[in-house]
Amino acid sequence: MFLSSLSPLFLRSRREMEGRRRLLLLLRFSFALLLLLLLGASTAQMPGFISLDCGGRVNFTDALGLTWTPDDQLLYGETTNISVANETMQQYKTLRYFPANDRKYCYTLKVKSRTRYLVRVTFLYGNFDNNNVYPKFDVSLGATHWATIVISDADTIEVQELIFLALDPTISVCLSNATTGQPFISTLELREFNGSVYLTQFESQYYLSVSARINFGADSEDPVRYPDDPFDRIWESDSLKKANYLVDVSAGTEKVSTKMPIDVSSGEMPPQKVMQTAVVGRNGSLTYRLNLDGFPGFGWAFTYLAEIENLGPNVSRKFRLVLPGMPDLSKAIVNIQENAQGKYRLYEPGYYNISLPFVLSFRFGKTSDSSMGPLLNAMEINKYLKKNDGSFDGSVIASAVSSYSSADWAREGGDPCLPVPWSWVECNSDPQPRITKM
């Protein structure tokens, strides 16, 4: 009687325990699955990434986790293998080269309109033609001349980066106007930005040509990029040794670092790894000199600051930027912890439009009432590049050509007239050229 009266309670208790056990197993499984998904998401590259291995033949994923595809859909040019001492990255073992003639050779990439991107082209000569004649040629984005590529070392990778707002469903990157050697390309990369990163009031008329992007306080000469930077920007180390790069360093400059997480959720969202290092001026100042590619001209210049040292309650860090010949720019006082509203938070002072020389000298100096010298985590300088509106008939002829997209003659890409005409059209020499003959 006693056992029989307890039996239902015991069975119900066992059923409840079994249900709880199954629920616990389900929760553990769900948590493990979620963790795997999160880990997978952290290593999967961002949407809007295109990485073309020019001259390559197979898809591959590199050590950074970036997926590369060959440019074998391109109709023009020849491919070849190269071998450069100490260069192990697969994308730099091949290249594509083109005839040195009066044509342009274009890559056309799909983009999302009203979205900002970084486009990067790289060039590793490697004496691919066995002539030891260093090539010199132009690269353009659509109708806009972007840069003149001047190879001065067969074993050095030349890099050009441009930030732009896409206004059309495609962009074209074109090579042309070789004055020595043959135009060639090693890689073509496209990286999509989120939200308002690199938003400027001039973006409908100007591109941003990247001149300097520097990680101060770096612990090695290696750059910081993807996956530490989810946008795959390349942050050069301040320890890198090259001509006219961060020279005239003041005495008392010291590197510091932290393992604390940094809030980088605002502005241009520099990577945490960059913001976890810095240089400080123990003697009261930080001074540097460097050459700015593409300058003199007007540019976009910002510093990235975060207080990563433990300052006592009566300790302050206040400093000013000093640019020779620009006294008005030296008036603003920086107090990182106050400006960022706390430690380990990004503060991003800078200038959306500033005139800068080719040789830039700058200094950060502490104020008279500051107990600590200045601190600098990173900086970025981009030059405004005026967009070319293209040929007068460009949009009309491009619309007509799109109906014949499978024909070889309709796949030359870029603007019909600029920087040089398509092979089957002739254009006049007006500032905004017109097509005169087809």
pLDDT tens string 265-294: 999 999 999 999 999 999 999 999 999 999
Task: Centre a 10 Å sphere on the Cβ of residue 313 and count the other Cβ atoms it contains.
Answer: 4
Cα–Cα separations (whole angstroms), residue 144 to 173, 176, 223, 330, 422:
10, 12, 29, 35, 15
Tokens 């050229």 label which residue?
A: 433
C-beta of residue 364 within 8 angstroms of C-beta of residue 376? yes
Residue 15 has pLDDT above 70, yes or no: no
Q: How far is Cα 318 from Cα 211, in angstroms, rounded to an integer? A: 28
Question: What mean pLDDT do residues 31-58 have?
Answer: 65
Give residue-wise pLDDT tens across range 368-387: 999 999 999 999 999 999 99
Neighbouring residues of 423: CB distance < 8 A, sequence distance ≥ 6: 103, 409, 412
Question: What mean pLDDT do residues 178-205 have?
Answer: 96
Where residue 7 falls among pLDDT bands split at 50, 70, 90?
very low
Task: Centre a 10 Å sphere on the Cβ of residue 61 and count the other Cβ atoms it contains.
Answer: 12
Q: How far is Cα 193 from Cα 169, in angstroms, rounded to an integer? A: 16
Question: What's the one-letter identity of residue 148?
Answer: T
Task: Centre a 10 Å sphere on the Cβ of residue 416 and count the other Cβ atoms it contains.
Answer: 25
Of all residues in the chain, the percent with pLDDT exceeding 90 is: 80
C-beta of residue 421 within 8 angstroms of C-beta of residue 143? no
Output DSSP code: residue 410. Answer: G
Neighbouring residues of 92: CB distance < 8 A, sequence distance ≥ 6: 82, 84, 122, 124, 157, 186, 187
Give residue-wise pLDDT tens across range 156-176: 999 999 999 999 999 999 999
Cα–Cα separations (whole angstroms), residue 108 to 148, 233, 371:
20, 22, 55
C-beta of residue 208 within 8 angstroms of C-beta of residue 300? yes
The pLDDT score that the predictor gives to residue 44 is 59
213 or 11, greater pLDDT: 213
Which H or E run includes 353? strand 350-356
Tokens 């540097």 label which residue?
A: 288
Write down the H helix ranges in 215-254: none
Q: How far is Cα 126 from Cα 130, in angstroms, rounded to an integer? A: 9
Question: What mean pLDDT do residues 27-36 have?
Answer: 37
Q: Is the pTM of this model over 0.75?
A: yes
Give residue-wise pLDDT tens across range 317-334: 999 999 988 888 888 999
Q: What is the CA radius of gyration of the chain?
A: 27
Where residue 396 falls among pLDDT bands split at 50, 70, 90?
confident
Q: How far is Cα 357 from Cα 367, in angstroms, rounded to an integer? A: 26
Where residue 20 falls among pLDDT bands split at 50, 70, 90?
very low
Question: What mean pLDDT do residues 250-272 have?
Answer: 97
Closest CA to 121 of 137, 139, 135, 148: 139
Q: What are phi and psi of 29, to 5 degrees?
A: -65, -45
The pLDDT score that the predictor gives to residue 410 is 76
Question: What mean pLDDT do residues 237-266 have?
Answer: 96
C-beta of residue 370 within 8 angstroms of C-beta of residue 319? yes
C-beta of residue 224 within 8 angstroms of C-beta of residue 257? no
Residue 3 has pLDDT above 60, yes or no: no
C-beta of residue 173 within 8 angstroms of C-beta of residue 120? no
Q: Is 139 helix (H, G, I), strand (E, B) or coil?
A: strand
Q: How far is Cα 233 from Cα 274, in angstroms, rounded to an integer? A: 11
Closest CA to 414 of 432, 397, 430: 397
The pLDDT score that the predictor gives to residue 2 is 29
C-beta of residue 359 within 8 angstroms of C-beta of residue 401? no
